[in-house]
Structure 1
Amino acid sequence: MRVFNCDHCGHVVFFDSVQCLHCGSTLAFLPDSFTMAALVPVPEEGPGLWRRVDPRGDGLQSGRRYRMCRNHTAHQACNFALPAHHPGDLCVSCCQTRVLPDLSHAPNVRRWKQIEAAKRQLFYTLARLGLEPAPGGAGPVFEFLADLPGGPPILTGHLGGTITLNIAEADDDERARRRIALGEPYRTLIGHLRHESGHFYWDQLVRDGGRLESFRQVFGDERQDYAAALQAHYARGAADADWAARHVSAYAAAHPWEDWAETWAHYLHMIDLLETAASYDAAVTVPDPHAAVRQRVSDPFAVPRPAFQDMVRQWVPLTLMLNSLNRSLGQHDAYPFALSPGAMVKLRFVHDLVQGLAVPACPVPFGAH
């Protein structure tokens, strides 16, 4: 995720900011221009209306007017704005959430806010890739549910365009418990959402996009029994030690659908981290057997888009540096993976598929959802 600058004072602000800590300006993300903006109210034009502070500093007011997302106004749970003329009162991300947990229970409000923040991050990356709105129309819808006493456990997953997430995943201790119980090195909210979005876009891009045969050549035949494959995967446990030669994670070895979803999530990890590093004008030393090459990290959304092999050459030392920085602070590796050539082939498949859509990253039209 790139960093931004306050329109009013130029200070660095972030994607989830709601106020500039330097000048106090109100901030909101504008999906119709892919930017964070400093806003000032214009009550004389109507209740709840805002305009953008003119970034040029010439005193001219922006002609476009905005309203804050209802989830910001009611719960301080969103920092997206929407055009004043838009008929709805939810932003393009929040309107994708179809079912909420019981918000009268205070811990659920906290969990919901954390999940929505991760979902906005997912929305941003997908939109920058030209995948929101989705090629088949509207994007996925989301249901955030809680386990009920005596009821069946809520399982995180995707079915028919709906992504369900158990809100317990927003609790660090519960997420850590599940990560340890399942033998996973990495488990985060954004990781869950990126993975489940992979299942949604498999339907959109592979099944409905006429790419089943090319998919099967790389990932295997998805027609094998899914339930039986998962059961066999969990029965094997650590015994399946050769997964790393062909997959991005141990779970990816369970079934071709999960292989795709894990690879898709890793590709979104790559895109987001490279964009973040590029926005800081970071440079890395790319290992070379003859001479080390130092180069700036390429913005994955630059025009023309960087080649996949260049992204990978920057990705590897970047993740090594990231993990080293984490260890310096006594933290676990932020990216606890080492991608094999076999896994890279699958990442390349995802990259070529996404880039081959030839849909330029553009501002998100409101009303698309």
Structure 2
Amino acid sequence: MKLFSCQCCEQPLFFENTACESCHHPVGYLPGLSMLTALEPAQVAGRWHPMEPQVRHAEVVYCANHAYDVCNWLTSATDQNHTPVCFACRFNRTIPDLSVPGNLERWRKIEIAKHRLFYTLLRLRLPLRNRWEDPEGGLAFDFLDDAPDGSAPVMTGHDNGLITLAIREADDAERERMRVEMGEYYRTLLGHFRHEVGHYYWNVLVRDAGRVEACRSVFGDDREDYQQALQAHYGRPLSTDWREHYVSAYATAHPWEDFAETWAHYLHIVSTLETASAYGVTINPATGTAAVSAPGTLKDPYLRASFDEIMNAWMPLTSAVNSLNRSMGLSDFYPFVLTAGVRRKLAFIHALIRETQALR
């Protein structure tokens, strides 16, 4: 994530801000520029002029979901009788029932994670088509609650572009309980989004782009029956050597899950490296060995850095932050091991994204 600042007073701004805490100008996000901008009122009520010099004369409005305090993205001003929805919110098919107590706050947490996902996808210049543009395979989100009587628990998952997220995942205590029960190192809303969108991009960038055989050579044969593979995964003891080839235990279930888990980790890496670089974080371990590359000197990890440069920056960064967490008595920030086998898979994801960028 970039660092942002107010165009009026240069106060630092954060991605979710809706107002500058210093000069109190309203603030909104311009997805086309990957930029937060302070706003000045236009002549028509509800419309704004960005203070960002590149688009100062444009007229923009907040997404309709800004009224619920779940979105700060901007979109072009349209007819006053039309309810504007921003780029990210156009992918919502079903939102939580806001008449249920607590669901507004759950939705707010979900949207924070989802908007961060879209920030990364746009920065990576990946193709994005919603369900209205592509009714058969476009990307869409259903945020669903369990049945009131508990008879039909919602399962988070992906089905040909449709991502379902169980909104109980927005409850920290419930998500932690599930993490422990399932023996996971890591379980977050943003992690769910990054994983499930990995299934969508397997469809778009692998299946539909003629790369299936190349992908199988790295992740295995996806023609293995998926439901049987999941049943077998949960029904057998996990081998002790999975870390040699998989980034997580769940990745061993099926090649599709291996791809999605690896995809999610690649997004974790480039997003975190951009944040570290924006803050000027540099890592130079005092171990007596040769100096290593550091995030502060890294090229743009979304568009320019090579895979080796990304790995050379990522490994010392995670080692340092894990050590800081341990010093505070906390769990590791990044509790994963990137072996040579895992790096080979991450390198495939990196090459897949770079090839896609070159075609756009």
The TM-score, its normalising length taken from structure 1, stands at: 0.90
Q: Percent identity?
A: 45
CA 1:195/1:8 → structure 2, altered by over 3 Å: closer, same or farther? same
Q: For 1:218-297, list aligned pairs within 5 A.
A: 218-237=218-237, 239-285=238-284, 290-293=289-292, 295=294, 296-297=296-297
Partner in structure 1 of residue 12 of structure 2? 12
Partner in structure 2 of residue 366 of structure 1? none
Deviations 1:129-186 (A, max 9, x none): 1114259966510000000134311000000210000000000000000000000010
Distance 1:253 1:26 in 2: 47
- Residue 293 of structure 1 deviates from its aligned partner by 3.4
Relative contact order higher in (CA < 8 Å, ≥ 6 apart): 1
Q: 5+ unaligned residues in a row in structure 2: which ranges? A: none
Q: Judge conservation of contact 1:123–1:132 (CA < 8 Å) in 2.
A: no
**Does 2:30 align with 1:36?**
no
**Does 2:27 align with 1:27?**
yes
- Residue 281 of structure 1 deviates from its aligned partner by 2.1
| Structure 2 counterpart of 1:77, from 70, 73, 83 | 70
Q: Judge conservation of contact 2:5–2:13 (CA < 8 Å) in 1.
A: yes
Partner in structure 1 of residue 189 of structure 2? 189
Q: Judge conservation of contact 1:264–1:347 (CA < 8 Å) in 2.
A: yes
Q: Judge conservation of contact 1:267–1:351 (CA < 8 Å) in 2.
A: yes
Partner in structure 2 of residue 64 of structure 1? 58
| Structure 1 counterpart of 2:122, from 127, 132, 137 | 127
Distance 1:328 1:22 in 2: 34
- Residue 77 of structure 1 deviates from its aligned partner by 1.1
Q: For 1:269-348, list aligned pairs within 5 A.
A: 269-285=268-284, 290-293=289-292, 295=294, 296-301=296-301, 305-348=304-347
Partner in structure 2 of residue 105 of structure 1? 100
CA 1:171/1:300 → structure 2, altered by over 3 Å: closer, same or farther? same
Partner in structure 2 of residue 354 of structure 1? 353
- What is the Cα-based RMSD across aligned positions, in Å? 2.3
Distance 2:52 2:191 in 1: 36
Q: Judge conservation of contact 1:279–1:299 (CA < 8 Å) in 2.
A: no
Task: Give SS of 1:358's match.
Answer: helix
- Residue 235 of structure 1 deviates from its aligned partner by 1.7
Q: 5+ unaligned residues in a row in structure 1: which ranges? A: 362-369
Q: Judge conservation of contact 1:199–1:261 (CA < 8 Å) in 2.
A: yes
- Residue 207 of structure 1 deviates from its aligned partner by 0.6
Task: Give SS of 1:356's match.
Answer: helix
Letter in 2 for 1:47: A
Task: Give SS of 2:93's match.
Answer: strand
Distance 1:334 1:360 in 2: 35
CA 1:106/1:204 → structure 2, altered by over 3 Å: closer, same or farther? same
Distance 1:130 1:83 in 2: 20
CA 1:360/1:106 → structure 2, altered by over 3 Å: closer, same or farther? farther
Distance 1:320 1:342 in 2: 19
Aligned residues, how many?
352
CA 1:99/1:302 → structure 2, altered by over 3 Å: closer, same or farther? closer
More deviation, 191-200/332-341: 332-341
Q: Judge conservation of contact 1:286–1:294 (CA < 8 Å) in 2.
A: no
Distance 1:271 1:64 in 2: 31
- Residue 259 of structure 1 deviates from its aligned partner by 0.2
Task: Give SS of 1:144's match.
Answer: strand
Distance 1:302 1:255 in 2: 28
Q: Judge conservation of contact 2:144–2:165 (CA < 8 Å) in 1.
A: yes
- Residue 330 of structure 1 deviates from its aligned partner by 3.4
CA 1:265/1:32 → structure 2, altered by over 3 Å: closer, same or farther? same
Q: Judge conservation of contact 2:161–2:200 (CA < 8 Å) in 1.
A: yes
